[in-house]
Amino acid sequence: MKISQDARQVNATKTLSAELADRLCERIRTDRLAPGARLGTEADLADQFGVSRTVVREAIGSLRGLGVVTGRQGLGLCVAEADNFSSVLRKALVPQVASPQGLCELQQLRAVIEIGSIALAVERITSEEIIRLQTIVAEMKRVMKNLKKDEAGTSKAYKEMDCLFHQTILAASHGSFVKQFHGVLLDYFHAGEFYGRIPTLKGLREHEKIANAIADRDTDKATKHLTEHLQTQLKAPSE
């Protein structure tokens, strides 16, 4: 399959922004920059690293969304607070997003965490959390009805429900460490290509099967349906 010039330019920009994000994190670690330390403005960083402001803006957007950096009026880009496990983990995993292979490995790690925690989630989930899962699935169905009319808007809304669905399952295991770890991983995919796909009825049915199995307290079925769903997520978008 031939790749158009526009597509190559987009991919090149994504690669440059990922590399810049990695280099900024490396600077934070190497220079031991404290929370609040100034990194510079978009123009400053563009000059320092010899890239366009578009590349800088994309890199900053990724790091800001992951809680690594923050913007302060009059100062520009600054190092965000790093006083908890999630903040430290975000910085440690940033280099992985600089390559498709790294993202794939993070997605595999996410699958391991979810599948490994599903039995505990089925055992510990409360009635309120079951209702929450079922409500999320119902909202996903409602959102999907607008797919043909508004593909972009529907995809964005569905993506938010998708993340919330999986976060709810992990929260049901009532393990704080696992929940934080998983939440950080989902943040990466929420902003990346794994969650950039157009939602499908097949994916919706998979979520419904998982929710029903959990509601029935059926660990075997819940594990089976979740595993099949995550295996689908691991496939390339073209597959």
CA separation for the pair 106, 185 (Å, rounded):
7
- Domain 5-84 classification at class level: mainly alpha
Question: Which CATH fold would you assign to the domain 99-234?
Answer: Four Helix Bundle (Hemerythrin (Met), subunit A) (1.20.120)
The pLDDT of residue 177 is 60
- Among residues 16, 25, 105, which one has the least CA distance to residue 69? 25
Is the Cα dihedral 168, 169, 170, 175 positive or negative? positive
Task: Report pLDDT for 173.
Answer: 85
Residue with tokens 């100034």: 38
CA atoms lying within 13 Å on the CB side of residue 141: 10
Q: What is the pLDDT of residue 72?
A: 73
Between CA 150 and CA 196 the distance in angstroms is 15
Q: According to the model, what pLDDT value does residue 237 have?
A: 44
pLDDT, residue 125, reads 94
pLDDT in the model for residue 131:
95
Domain spans of the chain, in order of start: 5-84, 99-234
* pLDDT averaged per 10 residues, the chain (length 239): 37 68 82 81 91 89 78 77 56 60 76 89 94 95 91 87 88 73 65 62 94 97 94 58
Block residue for tokens 């997605």? 107
Q: Which two tokens stand for residue 148?
A: 């043909």
- State pTM to two decimals: 0.58
- pLDDT value at position 185? 67
